Structure 1
Amino acid sequence: MAASSSTPVRHPLTFGLPWPEFNDGLSYNDDVSLSDSGSTLIKFYSSKYKSSAPLQGWLQRIQNGQITVEGRVVTDPNTVLRVGTQLVYHRLPWKEPDAPHMLEVLYEDDDMIALNKPSCLQVLPGGLFQQRTVLTQLQWQASLQSTSVGHQRAHPVPVHRLGRGTSGILLCAKTQLARARLATHFADGTSGIGGKRDNNKELGKIAKIYRALVTGRIDRDKVIINQPIGTVKYPGVAKGLYVASPSGKPALSVVDVLERDIQGNSTLVQVQIQSGRPHQIRIHLSFIGHPLLGDPLYVVGGQPKFVDCKFLDESHAEDGGYQKPTQPVPGDCGYHLHAHQLVLSHPTTGEVIEIIATLPSILQTREETMEISIK
């Protein structure tokens, strides 16, 4: 690992606070626009946020006193709104699903920090996970450090995402400059460090290498997958589910076979991605007929296991929102995918830095397992 402008962390550190039983709930603010003036309270919420709750769910929330108009609780759903009125929807505290809370620090300097994210921990708030996220632990850690040094410190912010079920390296920026430059590196593509591509353009400034365990035996030693990735409507996924789609955005994955397990009917692979579309590796490997072992969502062809996604459950849960989907969703865990290696150009010094996250035992080759046992 190359040195940066400040003294980097070169040994594993861990941090993390246990999750409270219930989160703090949330508040969502709105100002009534000119186009919404004259609407009723129920029409405003049921039309503007129909992906959050069905009509009956919004009625329940209003009648529960969870919405304030100009700071005053209003329980009449037919209250007429005027332009400029301030609305607040108060989402009640709830018990989020179980999630790990400890994070390992792989690298840290004045500009950035790289974490080893465990599987089943979400990176940013979304859906049922609003508190039990990497971002929350970063905020809590910064608060503890601020208390110890006596002044407020900004918390690091993730500059990319890993799926909830994906483990491994997560890069976070500690300054606005580092955040902007690292975001640019990721936006430019993760196709390698230095040198030239075939079209004589410079390679990207980040290279990401993953390990994955897939079903079936991949016969070729190297597979290049350039299947575009787009979205389709899918219950429980408000912005649509990412799938293999001819009309989607370009995506490139390079797959190298590391080991074949004929008896277990599985293949251990290394994957380097260029574009970094959401769920790209899961989609691409399933597209070529080898879904990740244990993947509850994607099947052969890069499509969801359940293709009939027109049905929408209009019933609502206790908090008024939609019931948790019974069919698999992208955040479900069970597959084996690990962001193992990250090589990047440092956002301020330009030096090349290599970061490695220890492999889970199930993603180690037999030779690697033997070497570890000898040590």
Structure 2
Amino acid sequence: MITIDGEVVKEPKAILRDGMELVYHRLRWREPDAPYLLQVLYEDDDMIAVNKPAGLQVLPGGLFQQRTVLMQLQWRASKGSPSLETHGSHPVPVHRLGRGTSGILLCAKTKVAKTSLAAFFAEGTSLIGDSSNTNMEQSKRRKISKIYRALVNGILKQDKIIIKQPIGTARYPGVAKGLYVASASGKPALSKVEVLERDSQLNQTLVQVEIESGRPHQIRIHLSFIGHPLLGDPLYDVGGQPMCFDSEHEDESFAEDGYKCISVYVAVDGLVFHFIIFFPPH
């Protein structure tokens, strides 16, 4: 399945040299269904803002290689779409939204715009954990604010809550680099939660969350940490920890966007086999 300059590689320790062409002839697979319509909300010579639908991944990874925002932007630009007139450059996202999250996604059309927008997103996160008055004032003047809405389990009693729980990583089946969880030894993170509506009959609360930092899965982790996980979240449970945890198993292809899993041990003729079974989000 791997060739170098057209010849099948039979020696795993073959040395690559400058100018060689290495090709991986991967087996075909069918990517899971995903939304493909991107609504353009704003555009100028430097950037474009699109409305990312839930279910669409931003960057290629795991099971999704073609059905992503990045590939759609590149495909439209190559087709000369009037709404993505980039003079030969391809728009690229400068931040991420989770696959299950819908909302505004900013994409840069030039290198200068990419550098500037990335710096704007990073500046708020860099100030978290520093309580100096100077940094607090700088935080109030951030050029980009990130505000989300979420539906959570249970009824929040307080109208406004500030969550400062640090977020770190822990070993988890399916994520070789570790899964992000609530951790006292993690990096500083800050979320401002405001109740918009309470539904006592369904035992749900609609909240607005402004995140001062930008840690991965921050909203999911912070809300579950205070005892109110997102409605339907297949991964995080009360306390900001995953529903299924097994530190002895790693597999790169699962759990990045929230897969339920169960551990099964089966004994056959004196041998014990350990299976990790994943259930994709509904």
- Could you say whether these structures have the same fold, taking a TM-score greater than 0.5 normalized by the shorter chain as the test? yes
Structure whose residues are more often strand by fraction:
2
Tell me the CA shift for residue 178 of structure 1: 0.9
Whole-angstrom distance in 2 between the partners of 1:188 and 1:151: 27
Query: Does structure 1 conserve the Cα–Cα contact (< 8 Å) formed by 2:77 and 2:85?
Result: no
1:84 deviates by: 3.3
Using the TM superposition, give the Cα deviation of residue 80 of structure 1 relative to its aligned residue in structure 2, in angstroms. 4.2
Please tell me whether residue 172 in structure 1 is matched to residue 107 in structure 2. yes
TM-score (norm 1): 0.62
1:42 alignment partner in structure 2: none
Q: What amino acid maps onto 2:113 in structure 1?
A: A
What residue number does 2:158 align with? 220
Correspondence list, 1:278-293, <5 A = 278-293=216-231
The RMSD of aligned alpha carbons is: 2.8
The 2-side partners of 1:231 and 1:273 are apart by: 19
* Equivalent residue number for residue 208 of structure 1: 146
Residue of structure 2 equivalent to 1:139: 74
Contact kept, 8 Å, 1:295 with 1:333, in 2: the verdict is no
Q: Counterpart in 2 of 1:347?
A: none
Could you state the TM-score of these two structures normalised by the residue count of structure 2? 0.81
SS of alignment partner, residue 221 of structure 2: helix
Does the 8 Å contact 2:173/2:245 carry over to 1?
Answer: no
- In structure 2, the residue corresponding to 1:207 is in which secondary structure? coil
- Higher RCO structure, 1 or 2 (CA under 8 Å, sep 6+): 1
Report the AA paired with residue 184 of structure 1.
A
- Tell me which stretches of 4 or more aligned residues in structure 1 moved more than 6 Å: 146-151
Query: Percent of pairs identical after alignment?
Result: 67
SS for the counterpart of 1:206 is coil
1:238 aligns with 2:164: no
Matches within 5 A, 1:54-93: 66-74=1-9, 76=10, 78-82=11-15, 84=17, 86=20, 87-93=22-28
Task: Output the amino acid matched with 1:116.
Answer: N
| 1:150 CA displacement | 11
Displacement of 1:333 in angstroms is 8.5
Q: CA 1:103–1:249 in structure 2 vs 1: closer, same or farther (change >3 Å)?
A: same
SS at match of 1:224: strand
Runs of 5+ consecutive residues of structure 1 not aligned to the other structure: 1-65, 192-196, 314-321, 335-375
1:173: how far off? 0.8
Letter in 2 for 1:106: L
- Residue by residue over 1:170-208, the C-alpha shift from the partner in whole angstroms, topping out at 9 and shown as x without a partner, is 0111111111100000110179xxxxx971332321111
Say how many residue pairs are matched.
Answer: 251
Over 3 Å counting, the alpha-carbon distance change for 1:147 and 1:113 in structure 2 is: closer
Deviation at 1:165, TM superposition (A): 0.3
Gap runs ≥5 in structure 2: 261-282
